Amino acid sequence: MTLEAEELHKVAHLARLTLEPEAVKDYAQALSNILDLVDEMQAIDTDQVQPMAHPLDATQRLRIDEVTETVDPEYLQAGAPATEKGLYLVPRVVE
Amino acid sequence: MQWEAVIGLEVHVQLATESKIFSGASTRFGAEPNTQACVIDLGMPGVLPVLNEKAVEMAVQFGLAVNANIPQRSYFERKNYFYPDLPKGYQTSQMAEPIVGPGYLDIPLEEGSKRVRIHHAHLEEDAGKSLHEDFHGMTGVDLNRAGTPLLEIVSEPEMNSAKEAVAYLKGIHSIVTYLGISDGNMAEGSLRCDANVSVRPKGQKELGTRCEIKNVNSFRFVEKAINHEIERQIELIEDGGRVVQETRLYDPDLDETRSMRTKEEANDYRYFPCPDLLPVELDTAYIQHLKEGLPELPDQKRQRFTEQLGLSDYDAGVLSASRALADYFDRVTEICGDAKLAANWVTGELSAQLNRDSLDLQQAPVAPEQLAGLLKRLLDDTINGKAAKQVFAALWAGEGHTADDIIEAKGLKQVTDTGAIEAIIDDVLAQNQAQVDQYKAAEADKRGKMIGFFVGQVMKASKGTANPQTVNQLLKDKLG
């Protein structure tokens, strides 16, 4: 299966990645190779196989519902480019 | 052309846990910004989520309450999208195997009850909040809400009017508050609703193109927003246009919906199993244990009220809608022994007074024991209906602690002594000879109405204390 340039741009947009125009061809080829591999795997009959959600043969442990974390917002916000009144500031998001 | 609306609701219920769904940070509402967003909620490198057992328990309780299948196994997936209030770049949610499978809810409508199927309910984490005003052209982000446990309940598109949608939403609201798994406070966002609305020509099987309305945070707005959207779509199609699948935002000030963004395709979220969380397995003993611990639910109460207590469907629906109201009614009935009378007073006088004074039931100045005391005096004929309303008003105003005190103090005891009533009747008839003559000359079928005049005069003369049934009977005897 070959990935078309249009699809590549769409996937890059969803992942918020910038594609250099000269890299498009290589990416398309590399991703197409992966899809080919998936296609090859599709040939295996998996009717009797339960889908695997996780490679570990274990189940989720649960936590008691208690407040155990203390939060120091100043420390956590030290790495943020901009804050004000306790809020993180980001470029305006227009809805 | 006759149109039919088709509505499906996605209801997000904030679960009333102490801590977040995957971290030990507090979920308390109203804290200073970002003081309750810990490293896990912020998606810092190297942290791992651990699932909150209470969130699982609450989700299962809800599932059991809506007769849903609870699969023994479910797992979490990542829903990928970028938005500043989603620090990790994905929302941990469920899709392929949610914690609650298909169930249903019977909703009471004026024309009878209707079954609305629930497609599934899944656990997920809430996002933070974006604040768009006042930051020199920037957006402020508060991540306190990030990681708060949500149960998203997805209905089948089976409702056909805004009224049905509201009845369904109220049903969900009453179940989650009965179970105590959410405070159900819509103003604070504990219960949020997105509505998928489409229209189609009546009789057509195929669904029309739907729009999703977001931002509807009260029962009243849900009804208005849906009605508005139905009208908009019908007008659009009738004018030769076409509905575009999109997300619309309801503006209560303008009472209109407006386009927000065209809906991304579902698979653009690129769901995949979350490698940080293992599958959740629930054994049958655990589910059985929770099932046995369920309180009496709205539907069961409604059924008990109609079948065992003989209430009308309508009264049973009103009384079972909130657990507090149902408990109040049960208590009054238990003491006074007459369910129908108790229902009339709780849905009538009590609810009207609460409305008038804008009070919640919890703030009512008349306790169920006090109301029951009053109803007992009505039942044993100590007072009549009119006096009972006076006594109730006095109890409400705090003029006495028990109905008996007030009846005594105000001299409201009913006169049942026929001799005393007869004397009053004789006076009234003597003073209204003209009406007496008219009554006697009238046809039998007209008399029923005319006797009301005399009853009124007698009641007035007795200052409302005469027993109306006795008055009626004696009047009929005397007038022949």
**CA-based nearest residue to A60, from B51, B101, B78, B96:** B51
Residues of B within 8 A of A89 (CB-CB) are 135, 138-141
- Buried residues in B37-63 as b, exposed as e (16+ CB within 10 A): bbebbbbeeeeebbbbebbbbbbbbbb
Residue showing tokens 């619309």: B248
Query: What does each of the 480 residues of chain B score in pLDDT, given as a tens digit?
Result: 899 999 999 999 999 999 999 999 999 988 999 999 999 999 999 999 999 999 999 999 999 999 999 999 999 999 999 889 999 999 999 999 999 999 999 998 888 889 999 999 999 999 999 888 778 889 999 999 999 999 999 999 999 999 999 999 999 999 999 999 999 999 888 999 999 999 999 999 999 999 999 878 889 899 999 999 999 999 999 999 999 888 888 888 888 888 876 545 556 888 999 999 999 999 999 999 999 999 999 889 999 999 999 999 889 988 998 888 999 999 999 999 999 999 999 999 999 999 999 888 988 999 999 999 999 999 988 888 888 999 999 999 999 899 999 888 888 887 777 788 888 888 888 888 888 888 888 887 777 778 888 888 888 888 778 888 888 888 888 887
Which pLDDT does position A94 carry in this prediction?
Answer: 66
**CA-based nearest residue to B346, from B324, B358, B357:** B324
Shortest Cα–Cα distance, A82 to chain B (Å): 10
Rounded CA-CA distance B302/B105 in Å is: 13
**pLDDT single digits (tens) B430-448:** 888 888 888 888 887 777 7
Residues of B within 8 A of A7 (CB-CB) are none
In a domain, A32, yes or no: yes
3-state secondary structure of B212: strand
Which pLDDT does position B261 carry in this prediction?
Answer: 63
Q: Which range of residues forms the domain containing residue A14?
A: 5-42
Rounded CA-CA distance B64/B288 in Å is: 10
Least CB–CB distance from A87: residue in B36, B131, B260: B131
DSSP string, B118-184: EEEEEEEE---EEE-SSSTTEEEEE-TTTT-EEEEEEE-S-B-SHHHHHHHHHHHHHHHHHHTS---
Shortest Cα–Cα distance, B325 to chain A (Å): 30
pTM, whole model, 2 decimals?
0.80
Rounded CA-CA distance B215/B12 in Å is: 12
Asked if B140 has any chain A CB less than 8 Å from its own CB, the reply is: yes
In a domain, A64, yes or no: no
Decide if B22 contacts B178 (C-beta within 8 A).
no
Answer yes or no: do A66 and B24 touch at CB < 8 A.
yes
- Share of residues in chain B with pLDDT > 70 (%): 99
In a domain, A92, yes or no: no
Answer yes or no: do A65 and B275 touch at CB < 8 A.
no
Asked if B38 has any chain A CB less than 8 Å from its own CB, the reply is: yes
Q: Which residue of A has its CA nearest to B17?
A: A65
What is the predicted ipTM? Answer: 0.89
Decide if B155 contacts B94 (C-beta within 8 A).
no
In a domain, A61, yes or no: no
Which pLDDT does position B262 carry in this prediction?
Answer: 57
pLDDT lower than 70: segments of chain A: 1, 94-95
Decide if B195 contacts B6 (C-beta within 8 A).
no
Least CB–CB distance from A59: residue in B17, B38, B278: B278
Number of independent structural domains in chain A:
1
Written as six digits, the tokens of A11 are: 């996937």
Written as six digits, the tokens of A4 are: 């078309």
Q: Which residue of B has its CA nearest to A77?
A: B34
Rounded CA-CA distance B139/B42 in Å is: 17
Which pLDDT does position B20 carry in this prediction?
Answer: 98
Asked if B18 has any chain A CB less than 8 Å from its own CB, the reply is: yes
Which pLDDT does position B121 carry in this prediction?
Answer: 98
Decide if B142 contacts B129 (C-beta within 8 A).
yes
**pLDDT single digits (tens) B281-330:** 999 999 999 999 999 998 899 999 999 999 998 899 889 988 889 999 99
Answer yes or no: do A86 and B270 touch at CB < 8 A.
no
Residue showing tokens 């409604």: B302
CB-neighbour burial class of residue B335 (10 A; exposed 0-12, middle 13-18, buried 19+)? middle
Torsion of CA B164, B166, B167, B168, to 10 degrees: 90
Written as six digits, the tokens of B379 are: 């039942």
Rounded CA-CA distance B377/B407 in Å is: 9
Residues of A within 8 A of B215 (CB-CB) are none
**CA-based nearest residue to B159, from B209, B65, B223:** B223
User: What residues of chain B, 393 to 422, have a C-beta less than 8 Å from chain A?
Assistant: none
Please give the domain boundaries of chain B with CATH numbers for all domains: 3-285 (no CATH), 296-410 (no CATH), 418-479 (1.10.10.410)
In a domain, A17, yes or no: yes
